[in-house]
Structure 1
Amino acid sequence: MRVFVTGGTGFIGHYVVKALLDRGHEVVVATRHPNKVPTLRANPNVSFVEAALTDFEKMGEGLVGCDACIHVALGWGDTPSAMLMNDTRATIALLEMAARAGCDKFIYTSSTSAMGRVRSEMHEMTSNLPIDLYGATKAAGEAFVLGFSHGYGSQFPEVKMKRNIIRPGYTFGNPAFPDGCSQPDRRFFEMAYAVKEDRDINIIKNDGTQFIHASQQAQIYMKLLESDLNEEIFLGLGSEWISWKEIAEKMIALKPGCKSKIVETDMGWGDEPMLYSVQKIKDSFDLAFDAHEFLDEHIRWTFENA
């Protein structure tokens, strides 16, 4: 299969590309930085489209001949209109271009942020109530991906392309390749710096999440890509809730005699975490992820590289 991947040199993106290559697929990577991961640049089964998400002509040309499109990249903006123009509009354009190019499948990377406010039951059918621009943008993208469902005039007399959505949660990991990248969130590194300098680590009491390693996240993409599912949403999260306090304790343990202390700010968050259901990826793909082993490795890697 020839697969078009936006953001294929970014963190989650380069793990998705690695998984595709491991399965023998040919990959077209759309990125502003084609030389960011030299290992990919040198791979004969990878070609590049050097373009921003809003370079619609280049993106359209790159999609020609592709069987599927996996949209990972994010177009950022600091205002509602900027997010609309840089991300939502780009997603809609990519969706249309993929359909015109004859892609059989389209996978949209959303986020648990699209769901917004955490409630007692959080699963794929929970309504989206975003609480920030990022979540609103992802929720809007989801709506267009699902809504592009049947014939529209002369340009799209019918829509055959299967369209599905993955909502990743907090995804972490070492680089997929020696010259790859880690997650953009800096909290692991900030903890490592504090430990090395014997400074206190400041966290919110009872803060944590269902961490998932990027290689585990990529498994969901592969299962969905190789399925015949259509108009489905999947949460990309681990099955185990892990606190930032546990991570801080593991980081401190790496330095004998460390004088750092964990300082918790009480925001009134309850002792029992609010969990997202991961039953659907279990039922659909027989996938269930415990990130602890990967997390231990990542904490050590972060400490060594801080």
Structure 2
Amino acid sequence: MILVTGGLGMIGAHTARALLDLGHEVVVTSHRRAEVPSFLAGRVTVEHLDVTDRDAFLALGGRHDISDIVHLAGSIPGEDPVHYFRTDTTGLLNALDAARTWGVRRFAVASSLGVYVGRTEIPWHEELALPTADLPHLIIAFKKAVEPLTTHSLQGTGIEPVVLRIGSIWGPLMDPESPFNHIPPYISAVLRGEQPRPLHADDGGDSCYAPDAGRAIALLTTAQTLRHNTYNVSSGRPFANRELADALRAITPGLRLDLLPGRQHGPGDDPYLDIARLTHDTGFKPAFDVATAVADYVAWRADNPR
């Protein structure tokens, strides 16, 4: 059985779904979210768990025969950065403690494409040295620390660490007014019959639809062998806002969307993740392009609030 912490969140739920589709038993943990997505209902075991509670975390091993862990649980920073870092570091260390106690085969953990901030090469790939740079968000700062904390904690244990440098993911279950990705709020405005805030046509960069991200993580968790312990997780292609507008126009005849010309900050390219390593080791290829992702998301939102 594979444990997915944060398994009712957007990325966690799609990871759990992909693992189930691959034929694995899955137990997911959730702290605040109780609603099980329709595509997981009746298919997964749900454990309500605060991952900062070490004893409760370790007790999962007495109820389930857990072979692998995908640690995706995390919190959103408030006003106190120390509280945020303490909370998420405690959750990570408890997950690592559980992995060591249970002797799992593989421990996958969420990092972020933000660890590459400061590198000018495009696309970003795993062999780039991570720069010392001012990071734009507390979450990215924590994710950068996650990588050595995980690999050093598992060194010599026989447990295989898999660091997931996750790209800009969007899709079903994301907050439709998310401040972290502009696509769901843009589509939400269209669904309300409003004119969304104009975007620059050539802005974009990395983007991956959540079902694809979940399947990539599932493949990395279950692959018989992996050649590396760090993998980019995304679509592997650049995205531009004009594609989003075109996709919405294609499914809404007569829709008028105003795009601003060029890029907001002038000529150049926005970074995106290279996934050659992921594809080579797992055979992963995205199932969704921008048009099919937008159509799928609009159909999902017809019956779901997020």
Q: TM-score range by the shorter chain?
A: 0.7 to 0.9
Q: 2:136 aligns with which of 91, 113, 131?
A: 131
- The verdict on how the C-alpha distance between 1:69 and 1:258 changes in structure 2, with shifts beyond 3 A counting, is closer
What are the equivalent positions in structure 2 for 1:1-306 lying under 5 Å apart?
Answer: 2-33=1-32, 35-37=34-36, 39=38, 43=42, 46-64=44-62, 65-78=65-78, 79-121=80-122, 122-129=124-131, 130-150=135-155, 158-174=156-172, 181-182=173-174, 185=178, 187-195=182-190, 196-199=192-195, 201-204=197-200, 206-226=202-222, 227-229=224-226, 232-252=229-249, 254-263=251-260, 267-289=264-286, 291-298=289-296, 300-301=298-299, 304=302
Q: Distance in 2 between matches of 1:254 and 1:297?
A: 7
Q: How many residues align?
A: 291
SS in 1 for 2:29: strand
Give the conservation status (yes or no) of the 8 Å contact 1:7–1:73.
yes
Q: Distance in 2 between matches of 1:248 and 1:281?
A: 29
After superposition, the C-alpha distances for 1:59-88 in whole angstroms (9 at most, x for unaligned) are 111134311111111123233312211112
Q: Distance in 2 between matches of 1:276 and 1:40?
A: 28
- The verdict on how the C-alpha distance between 1:87 and 1:29 changes in structure 2, with shifts beyond 3 A counting, is same
Q: Distance in 2 between matches of 1:215 and 1:260?
A: 27
Give the conservation status (yes or no) of the 8 Å contact 2:244–2:291.
no
Larger mean Cα displacement after TM superposition, 3-12 or 222-231: 222-231
Q: Distance in 2 between matches of 1:277 and 1:41?
A: 30
- The verdict on how the C-alpha distance between 1:231 and 1:303 changes in structure 2, with shifts beyond 3 A counting, is closer
Give the conservation status (yes or no) of the 8 Å contact 1:164–1:230.
no
Q: Distance in 2 between matches of 1:265 and 1:302?
A: 31
**Letter in structure 1 aligned against 2:129:** S
SS in 2 for 1:148: helix
Task: Kindly state the Cα deviation for residue 299 of structure 1 after the two structures are TM-superposed.
Answer: 5.5
Larger mean Cα displacement after TM superposition, 258-267 or 54-63: 258-267
SS in 1 for 2:198: strand
SS in 2 for 1:166: strand
Q: Distance in 1 between matches of 2:147 and 2:159?
A: 15
SS in 2 for 1:75: coil
Larger mean Cα displacement after TM superposition, 261-270 or 243-252: 261-270
SS in 1 for 2:248: helix
Q: Which runs of 5+ in 1 are unaligned?
A: 151-157, 175-180
- The verdict on how the C-alpha distance between 1:60 and 1:248 changes in structure 2, with shifts beyond 3 A counting, is same
Give the conservation status (yes or no) of the 8 Å contact 1:4–1:68.
yes
Give the conservation status (yes or no) of the 8 Å contact 2:237–2:273.
no
Q: Distance in 1 between matches of 2:167 and 2:142?
A: 16
Task: Kindly state the Cα deviation for residue 118 of structure 1 after the two structures are TM-superposed.
Answer: 4.3
- The verdict on how the C-alpha distance between 1:197 and 1:123 changes in structure 2, with shifts beyond 3 A counting, is same
Identity of aligned residues (%): 20
Q: TM-score, normalised by structure 1?
A: 0.82
Give the conservation status (yes or no) of the 8 Å contact 1:117–1:131.
no
Q: Distance in 1 between matches of 2:129 and 2:252?
A: 45
Q: Distance in 2 between matches of 1:61 and 1:54?
A: 13
Q: TM-score, normalised by structure 2?
A: 0.82
Q: Distance in 2 between matches of 1:268 and 1:39?
A: 41
Give the conservation status (yes or no) of the 8 Å contact 2:243–2:290.
no
- The verdict on how the C-alpha distance between 1:193 and 1:131 changes in structure 2, with shifts beyond 3 A counting, is closer
CA-atom RMSD in angstroms:
2.9
- The verdict on how the C-alpha distance between 1:275 and 1:221 changes in structure 2, with shifts beyond 3 A counting, is closer
SS in 2 for 1:239: coil
Larger mean Cα displacement after TM superposition, 105-114 or 18-27: 18-27
**Letter in structure 2 aligned against 1:140:** A
Larger mean Cα displacement after TM superposition, 165-174 or 65-74: 165-174
Give the conservation status (yes or no) of the 8 Å contact 1:207–1:243.
yes
Give the conservation status (yes or no) of the 8 Å contact 1:203–1:263.
yes
Task: Kindly state the Cα deviation for residue 206 of structure 1 after the two structures are TM-superposed.
Answer: 2.9
Give the conservation status (yes or no) of the 8 Å contact 1:28–1:62.
no
Q: Which runs of 5+ in 2 are unaligned?
A: none
